[in-house]
A and B are shown apart, each in its own frame.
Chain A
């Protein structure tokens, strides 16, 4: 066990700290619009210094550094300790860009990567359909080639940020006669293309972050496909891998746990500090044990990326399941300790932490479902992790 990053990294850490202390004041105010100048300037500054898009080649607008897992980790640690914004995220940056870098054509990388990481091009992910959720490969939105254009008809649902996106990466059926996993293609197109209709869906938090998206004879240039015709499933799975790991980072769980502790130390009920209630304290300690376990689990996974001899196949598969479930419970616990005060939401003058406990309690239920439900995660763990038989294909096409 060697948890030091080594002396060669202490200079790098100093550089990050130096950057933070000189530029911290330039970060955009929280809740800024993601298209505001302040956000875009900050994003540009981060990339210039190698604190965002660090390993993306300079040709595509990134910083062009050699991959170094520990340096990336140090950046994350220092930004988090200083509570400074790490810049833009979202499906374009975290999911599409890695895939383009791996499988996109030269032109696609040139056209999309730089604009996306700089926040000038916002994306949404068009996978799920009313009839294709967990069983994504049964999707039916179809694209037919007509001369030099794909003609798309069908419907997507649960499409997050479609209402603000410039572009969509979208799974469509292009080979209706092929087996279902081999008939899908991965297309990229603009959201202002004629024939696209977006209808917002309000979710349980009260926000309208996801949408229904309808396609009627949407015409898309033929070359806007990633990978070959019929390879879309493979491309999509590469992205899902990127998505799952990042849904419930353990550091965030730790800082939320510290937030609950502060809450319990400052709030009283009947004159008793919440932290002095032994039942709540026991629940808190139970959660702390689980948060710590996930935090060290994360270190183990990090270590395995550096030391290739460590086997973490099963260990990696459990992160989405346990991480999102734990976070949901943690947020719910904070509501429990507050009692009726925990119900306060939106404009309620007694609301605590801006209503974030209720919001996140619901939001993380969304993440338990999105990106592959907990049940689907368990199927994956059992089948690929423990070697148990696959689900029988009852009535499959």
Chain B
């Protein structure tokens, strides 16, 4: 019996952590967030570590790993607020395409050539001013908050949870970037006017599994980001002096940090187990993904606030850049379903409503 990460998973985590520490420090995150650099460079570099290929089978040029491995990667990416389309292209899209047996696209994801955004919003939280109609293989209408504003293609879910693949430069597709507070990853709206698409899946389970996986990746991303904020808060509290002592010696500050640690520590096990369930315990996978997403949204939000407070005015500045983590956690909370909606689904999957 072993509940935890395998040696291989720890190596994977370390290698991504080392790369990000060396090549994607906060300065580079800033450049990408302010539009001075594209995140495609980071994605290309991550391709050398096999990250886009993680879930893709070896015969297609992939690494052939599972969702617990993806959780491990998402956690490190969150820790470094790394700008890249991991949860969309490498996880959600890969799962849908795997189910559809679309080998060419999978092979192209593995090499980093193909980047696929996720336009699921109309099947998760459809808005009155959006909505998609299909006519055979053509799409019309609008999808809000599609994930990844720089993707080559999008997987678009319709109200009945069918999924279509559409290329971003097909005629009849207009893409407008939608600015959010989280500038480390982009979102956009997609407008379709009789745009030619290919139906990839009509099976709601394929949609649900991809959605569960996406939610779980956000939970893992938040776990990493929140841990980074806690670590920074503790470090800062041991350097900053007021009233002739380090602020970390004040009990009020110590208890803020203890609260963060105490609430965050069990999250690790929840997120790990949710990843394991997606790989090996299918009957529990959806419930665990929902709870991981919602619980991490709550704990993440509290840690983001508290860690900022521990930094005083400095936490509020752009100078320190702590806000990148704050906003990333905030985005993970809302995207693919806010906590209340996800908890409602948790109740539904266990038959309580």
Listed in ascending order, the chain A residues whose CB lies under 8 Å from chain B are 1-6, 70, 261, 265, 275-276, 278, 281-282, 284-286, 288-290, 292-294, 296-297, 299-300, 302-304, 306-307, 310, 314-315, 318, 321-322, 375, 377-379, 381-383, 385-389, 391-392
Q: Which of B269, B275, B294 interacts with A299 by CB under 8 Å? A: B269
**Contact: B347 with A281, CB < 8 Å?**
yes
Listed in ascending order, the chain B residues whose CB lies under 8 Å from chain A are 1-6, 68, 234, 237-238, 246, 248-249, 251, 253-255, 257-259, 261-263, 265-270, 272-273, 275-276, 279-280, 288, 291, 294-295, 298, 340, 343-344, 346-347, 352-353
Residues of B within 8 A of A290 (CB): 266, 295
Residues of B within 8 A of A265 (CB): 352
Residues of B within 8 A of A379 (CB): 251, 254-255, 258
Known: A382-B258, A391-B251. A261 touches B352 (CB 8 A): yes
CA distance A375 to B3 in the complex (A): 30
Residues of B within 8 A of A299 (CB): 3, 269, 273
CA distance A62 to B152 in the complex (A): 69
Known: A315-B265, A375-B255, A382-B258. A307 touches B347 (CB 8 A): no
CA distance A292 to B296 in the complex (A): 12
Q: Which 8 pairs across A and B sit closest by C-beta, in order of nearness?
A: A296-B269, A382-B254, A285-B343, A303-B3, A378-B258, A289-B295, A293-B266, A297-B266
CA distance A391 to B250 in the complex (A): 8
Give min CB distance, B66 to chain A, whole Å.
10
**Contact: A292 with B288, CB < 8 Å?**
yes
Residues of A within 8 A of B237 (CB): 388
Known: A3-B3, A285-B294, A292-B288. A314 touches B265 (CB 8 A): yes
Q: Which of A70, A286, A315, A318 interacts with B343 by CB under 8 Å? A: A286
Q: Which residue, B267, B276, B291, has most C-beta atoms of chain A within 10 A?
A: B291
**Contact: B2 with A307, CB < 8 Å?**
yes
CA distance A299 to B266 in the complex (A): 10
CA distance A300 to B266 in the complex (A): 9
Known: A388-B234, A388-B257. A307 touches B4 (CB 8 A): yes
Known: A288-B291, A290-B295, A293-B295. A383 touches B254 (CB 8 A): yes
Residues of B within 8 A of A385 (CB): 258, 261
Residues of B within 8 A of A286 (CB): 294-295, 298, 343
**Contact: B294 with A289, CB < 8 Å?**
yes
CA distance A290 to B266 in the complex (A): 8
Give min CB distance, A3 to chain B, whole Å.
6
CA distance A70 to B2 in the complex (A): 11
Residues of A within 8 A of B353 (CB): 275-276, 281
Residues of A within 8 A of B253 (CB): 388
Residues of A within 8 A of B68 (CB): 1
Given A292-B288, A296-B3, A382-B254, 6 additional A-B pairs, CB 8 A:
A1-B280, A281-B344, A281-B353, A284-B347, A293-B267, A307-B2
**Contact: A296 with B270, CB < 8 Å?**
yes
CA distance A294 to B272 in the complex (A): 13
Known: A1-B272, A288-B291, A302-B3. A389 touches B249 (CB 8 A): yes
Residues of B within 8 A of A377 (CB): 258, 262
**Contact: B254 with A378, CB < 8 Å?**
yes
Known: A3-B1, A296-B273. A281 touches B265 (CB 8 A): no
**Contact: A306 with B2, CB < 8 Å?**
yes
Residues of B within 8 A of A314 (CB): 261, 265
**Contact: B294 with A392, CB < 8 Å?**
no
Give min CB distance, B285 to chain A, whole Å.
13
Q: Which residue, A293, A297, A379, A383, has most C-beta atoms of chain B within 10 A?
A: A293
Give min CB distance, A316 to chain B, whole Å.
9
Give min CB distance, B279 to chain A, whole Å.
8
CA distance A375 to B255 in the complex (A): 8
Residues of A within 8 A of B294 (CB): 285-286, 289
CA distance A299 to B270 in the complex (A): 10
CA distance A388 to B275 in the complex (A): 33
CA distance A303 to B266 in the complex (A): 14
Known: A286-B343, A378-B258. A1 touches B352 (CB 8 A): no
Q: Which of B1, B248, B268, B291 interacts with A303 by CB under 8 Å? A: B1
CA distance A306 to B344 in the complex (A): 37
**Contact: B262 with A389, CB < 8 Å?**
no
Give min CB distance, A98 to chain B, whole Å.
23
Q: Which of B4, B5, B238, B259 interacts with A388 by CB under 8 Å? A: B238
Residues of B within 8 A of A282 (CB): 340, 343-344
Give min CB distance, B79 to chain A, whole Å.
17
Known: A1-B4, A2-B2, A299-B269. A386 touches B261 (CB 8 A): yes
CA distance A299 to B274 in the complex (A): 13
The residue of chain A having its C-beta at the shortest distance from the C-beta of B264 within the complex is A318
**Contact: B6 with A1, CB < 8 Å?**
yes
**Contact: B266 with A318, CB < 8 Å?**
yes
Q: Which of B3, B340, B346 interacts with A1 by CB under 8 Å? A: B3
The residue of chain B having its C-beta at the shortest distance from the C-beta of A389 within the complex is B249
**Contact: B238 with A293, CB < 8 Å?**
no
Residues of A within 8 A of B267 (CB): 293
Give min CB distance, A265 to chain B, whole Å.
8
**Contact: B269 with A318, CB < 8 Å?**
no
Residues of B within 8 A of A297 (CB): 265-266, 268-270
Q: Which of B2, B234, B266, B340 interacts with A294 by CB under 8 Å? A: B266
Known: A318-B266, A388-B248. A288 touches B346 (CB 8 A): yes
Known: A281-B347, A289-B270. A3 touches B276 (CB 8 A): yes
Residues of B within 8 A of A378 (CB): 254-255, 258-259, 262
